[in-house]
Chains A and B, each alone.
Chain A
Amino acid sequence: MPDWRELYQELILDHNRRPRNFRRPAAANREAQGFNSLCGDRLVLYLQLRDGVIDDIGFQGAGCAISTASASLLTERLKGKTAAEAEALFRRMHALLTGVPEPEDPAQPELGKLQALAGVAEFPTRVKCATLAWHTLHAALAGGQALVSTEE
């Protein structure tokens, strides 16, 4: 039996109460909207990308504790990272949240605080809450490539 404390760890509750980077960065040049049709939740993720580096990142919207904390932890982790690092982390998080066993790979990114989201894999009805922000990130990065090239 999964325990609710595995899902609602103190770190998750803290990021839900006080979401980090809950704003639109003034110089944001990428954004994507995530929509969970199951519950109607929406979030917008903003990136300020420069030379392949995420200079600033933020999000807005309303969602459950899991989706809010997931988005908040995402922004905290990715500020200052490259788009390639963000993509690698997206793949790692997707596997973690959907409970796909991963091969040992020293090259894959460390989870750190993001490990707190691992409990969601035991709650099939809540997996989409946690993956929403990460899919939105993936879309923002993909959409951003084209925009970057036109600016260059």
Chain B
Amino acid sequence: MASLTTPSRASGPAGYDVEAVRREFPALAQAVNGHPLIYLDNAATTQKPRVVLAALRQYYERDCANIHRSIHTLGERATEAYEHARRVTQRFLGAGSAREIVFTAGATAGLNLIAQTFGRMQVGPGDEILVTAMEHHSNIVPWQMLGQEKGARLVAAPISDAGELIWEEFERRLTPRTRLLAITHVSNALGTINPLRRLIAAAHAQKIPVVVDGAQAVAHLPVNVAELDCDFYVFSGHKIYAPTGVGVLYGKSEWLERMPPWQGGGDMIRSVSFEATSYNRVPYKFEAGTPNIAGVIALAAALDFALQLGLEASAAHEERLRQLATERLKSIPRLRLIGEAREKVGVLSFVLAGIHPHDVSTLLDQQGIAVRAGHHCAQPLMDRFGVPATSRASLAAYNTAAEIEALAAGIAQVQEMMS
């Protein structure tokens, strides 16, 4: 892994060796429809490096046992690897304690857990839950369901044409009725990075706890929950090189201690009788049933991989590519870029005049280029920009400048094919 930061002729200005990074991802070395794969759908999911695949194999080939209960060698190995993953995740997020790390099935599961436990404690009739116009459906629907149950109202802070939160409008919606702010760190459809520290400070000034959806952030910028001072932070493993079906919920221990359990079952209990059950301590009371053990262990491998790559270095690499891609796409006639926030990650949403995003996607795929087409699980946001759907190219640490050039040329070719 040390080779990843060794300078080579393929390096960018900061000595980032993208070709060495690419060699760690077996799936990148394939042809699709007769062309080398150019994978630009990283906001949907990332490809997986060898260390993650090796961690899965090691668990299933050597250490496969249930955790926290098996009094034998394999059980001890599996438990140790699982709890090691909790400590790796704690360090990755800058959390104060490993007890503040709950493993979930993903960001969606984390948000539903918070809504159904913390949310039920926090929100009552006539209260307001504040979100923004750029949220993913998974940071809208759980709060809407909670609001319906409790008679509370969901309020959305509007965004500008550039795709940025409008500060005055946001501040105006922090009212004495606001009981919770749920906000994305990075927009999946626009790439906008929200000014979290300022937003969280403003909410906390009015004693409003803050839930952050970090699904699109963790792979693309360093995150420190202690510095952010957020109350909750959730993300999905698969968007940061880990397998699908595993995720993380960080919560301040003062909240986690007071929250009721979410799902009942094994592992979340201390003792059970038919009269009463006492619950296990934090974080185990939120991890009912046998978890995704292999996924959690592989997640730790993925986070270690991201840390060894250096999130500052990979973020700088992605930023150079984003600037190149923005420049190239903006020079294409009849292309409208959607989302031009000053602070953003490598997400490029666009529409071509007279050509539907689905057709763009199919025709780029014919050239081996994978991009997303659709509403990106953000229909209110699509309505805001007056489009039913967009095409979206999203970058990761292993993309190259040559791939950006191929995307731009590919789009021009699509325009020619459909003319």
Contact = CB atoms under 8 A, between A and B. Distances in A.
Interface residues on A, range: 20 to 34
Contacts of A129: 358
A4 B366 contact: yes
B359 A39 contact: no
A72 to B, nearest CB: 14
A38 B33 CA distance: 23
Nearest to A37: B375
B374 A39 contact: yes
Nearest to A7: B362
Contacts of A4: 362-363, 366, 417
Contacts, number: 51
A4 B375 CA distance: 24
Interface in A117-131: 123, 125-126, 129
A126 B389 contact: no
Contact of B359 (A1, A40, A66): A66
Interface centre among A65, A66, A68 (most CB of B within 10 A): A65
Interface in B333-374: 355-359, 362-363, 366, 373-374
Given A4-B366, A62-B388, A38 B374 contact: yes
Interface size for chain B: under 10, 10 to 19, 20 to 34, or 35 or more residues? Answer: 10 to 19
A63 interface: yes
B382 interface: yes
A62 B382 CA distance: 14
A39 B357 contact: yes
Nearest to B356: A64
A132 to B, nearest CB: 11
Given A63-B356, A64-B356, A65-B356, A40 B362 contact: no
B34 interface: yes
A30 to B, nearest CB: 25
A126 B359 CA distance: 9
Interface string B188-206: 0000000000000000000
Contacts of B382: 40
A1 B34 contact: yes
A28 interface: no
Contact of B375 (A40, A66, A125): A40
B342 to A, nearest CB: 28
Contacts of A1: 33-34
Contacts of B356: 41, 62-65, 68
Q: Which one of B34, B359, B388 has the greatest number of beta carbons of chain A within 10 Å?
A: B359
5 contacts: A7-B362, A39-B373, A63-B356, A64-B357, A65-B418
Interface of A: 1, 3-4, 7-8, 13, 16, 38-42, 62-66, 68, 123, 125-126, 129
Given A1-B34, A39-B375, A65-B356, 7 more contacts: A1-B33, A8-B363, A13-B418, A40-B375, A40-B389, A63-B356, A68-B356
